[in-house]
Amino acid sequence: NKKPSEIDKIPRASALSTMWLMLRNRPQDEIQDAIRESAKGHDIYLSKIGPIASVNILSAEYAKDILTKSEDLAPKLEYEPGFVYYDFFGRGLIFSNGDLWRTYRKLANTAFNSALSPEMVGETVLELFSYTQRNLDLPIDIYETMQRTTIEILGKLAFGYKFGYLKSNKTPHIITVYKFIMSIVKSPYRFIFPWINKLPTANNKKFYQSIEEFDKFIFDIVETKRSEIKNKPISDDEHVDLLTSMLRLSEQEKIHADTKQLRDEMVNFFVAGHDTTSMSLSTTFYYLAKYPVIITLNKEIQERARAEVINVLGNELTIPTSEQLKKMEYINAILKESLRIYPPGSVISLRSLKEPIKIGPYVVPKDVLCLINLWQIHYDPKYWENPKQYDPDRFLSNEKRHPFSWIPFSSGPRNCVGQNFALMEQRVILSMMLHKYSWTLPKYTINKEKLILESQFFLKPVDVKLIFTKRTEK
């Protein structure tokens, strides 16, 4: 109750309309419009959602003030057992702090450097071709399709495991288990009313049983890898999965990497790595379908992108090399624009300040929670002309912008550890699909004007169907 005086200077905003829209499952853009309105022109405000009061940051300048602070000054809010985030993510990279975070972040940074290459992603795209071929000329759910693809890639990247998710239209049992867990973890109700998790309901029982089953699946993989690496010599140019790298590195550096901690890291990679990439790829496929060839306002995006790919790869489709990917400037601009218009994690996790921090003219006192809203930064007309328009060309101009005006991967010491991999992965998938197929929106679609999104802060599109056809050579 005893509030330090600095906090009284920070503008206040009611979160009631935001909460009301979230509970009514309204689309995320409506929720974000309500946030902007309740902020009444301020780029910082104090509000309360459920049990959590926080200072909300809506501008690049203020985001920089927090994100560039050392990880110990503005650490992540750590959730306790009984909160779904802790119960599934544990103390993996996303929510850990201090020495534990530093140790595993260092291992992960090095592991990503030797992680699997465009070749592995390309091989999965060949499986995606077979999947697309089976569903050719039919409306397919692009988010579902990208989930299949990115989960398959994540399995190989994180722990060298093939789910076979693109091999048929069925869902492997362990993925059904995982999806059920995530439906609970991502529910806004669980965040706003965390006591729900403690109720003896059938859903809660199924949730904890499912975690146990998923854990067993990962524990088995960790133990198998442990024994595998003992017998395998290391070669320098080898691309290996993250788990193998982390096990080897921890041995070299005499770090005791226990199985539970490695399980937490694998779950964190898995969760952080595929919903995000599925979302940004879905955005890209959607906009390329929306703007296929119409030559108005420079919007012939799909044809222009395809021409660039064919120019770089030639007429025979091969898996692009890193060198070839670097030459695809327009593809890169498209992917950046998709990440701007729909940043998959539209707000990033709460920071709990260990010292007072100056944010613009305000001093945010110690122990206050801060939340950075990437969506608002990405839509701010201060940095982006006509922000609601999808326009990849804005990334090809030399226009100077605030360095924190585009931060879909966050920034500073707690930025996304998978950023380079995610960008490479999307370039490979998009370029190979452009080479092989064309795609359009079906005649009747709820997404005609814009992508309809679910209400959750981790963006997810609703029922976005596209029709793929084999590309005809010109």
Q: Which residues are part of a known binding site for heme? A: 416
* Residue 404, burial from CB neighbour count under 10 angstroms (0-12, 13-18, 19+): buried
Which residues, in sequence order, are CB contacts of 320 under 8 Å at separation 6+? 118, 122, 312, 313, 328, 427, 428, 431, 432
Of 14 and 70, the one with the shorter C-beta distance to ligand HEM is 70
CB of 456 to ligand HEM, least distance (A): 14
Q: For ligand HEM, which is the closer residue by CB, 105 or 206?
A: 105
Residue placing its CB nearer to ligand HEM in the complex, 364 or 416: 416
Is 180:206 a contact under the CB 8 Å cutoff?
Answer: yes
* Smallest gap from residue 447 Cβ to ligand HEM (A): 20
Positions 401 through 420 that interact with ligand HEM (CB under 6 A): 408-410, 414, 416-418
Q: Is 349 in the site for ligand HEM (CB under 6 A)?
A: yes
- In the set 166, 218, 272, 309, which binds ligand HEM (CB under 6 A)? 272
Per CB under 6 A, the segment of 184-192, 307-315, 340-348, 396-404 that binds ligand HEM is 340-348
Name the nearest CA neighbour of 434 among 343, 336, 329, 306: 306
Picking from 61, 55, 51, the residue whose alpha carbon sits closest to that of residue 3 is: 55
Residue 342 DSSP SS3: coil
Query: Any contact of residue 345 with ligand HEM (CB under 6 A)?
Result: yes
Q: Which residue shows structure tokens 């309360």? A: 48
221-226 long-range contacts, CB within 8 A, separation 24+: 221/159, 221/161, 221/266, 222/159, 222/259, 222/262, 222/263, 222/266, 223/259, 225/159, 225/160
Write out the two tokens for 302: 């799909």
Q: Is 105 a residue that touches ligand HEM (CB under 6 A)?
A: yes
- Binding segment for ligand HEM among 161-169, 246-254, 273-281, 384-392 (CB under 6 A)? 273-281
Q: Does 178 bind ligand HEM (CB under 6 A)?
A: no
Closer to ligand HEM by Cβ: residue 50 or 413: 413
Strand, helix or coil for residue 161 = coil
Of 146, 171, 151, 170, the residue nearest 161 (C-alpha) = 151
Coil, helix or strand at residue 118: helix
Which ranges of 291-436 does DSSP label H, i.e. alpha helix? 301-313, 322-327, 329-341, 374-378, 419-436
Instruction: List 370's β-bridge partners, or say none.
Output: 55, 351
**Candidate residues 27, 155, 194, 273; the one interacting with ligand HEM per rule CB under 6 A:** 273
CB of 101 to ligand HEM, least distance (A): 6
Question: Between 94 and 313, whose beta carbon lies closer to ligand HEM?
Answer: 94
Q: Nearer to ligand HEM by C-beta: 9 or 179?
A: 179
**306 C-beta neighbours (distance < 10 Å), count:** 22
Binding mask 298-337 for ligand HEM (x = CB under 6 A): ----------------------------------------
Which is nearer to ligand HEM, 68 or 469 (by Cβ)? 68
Contact with ligand HEM (CB under 6 A) among 210, 261, 268, 455:
268
User: In the complex, which residues of this chain contact ligand HEM (CB under 6 A)?
Assistant: 93-94, 105, 157, 268-269, 272-273, 276-277, 280, 339, 344-345, 348-349, 408-410, 414, 416-418, 421-422
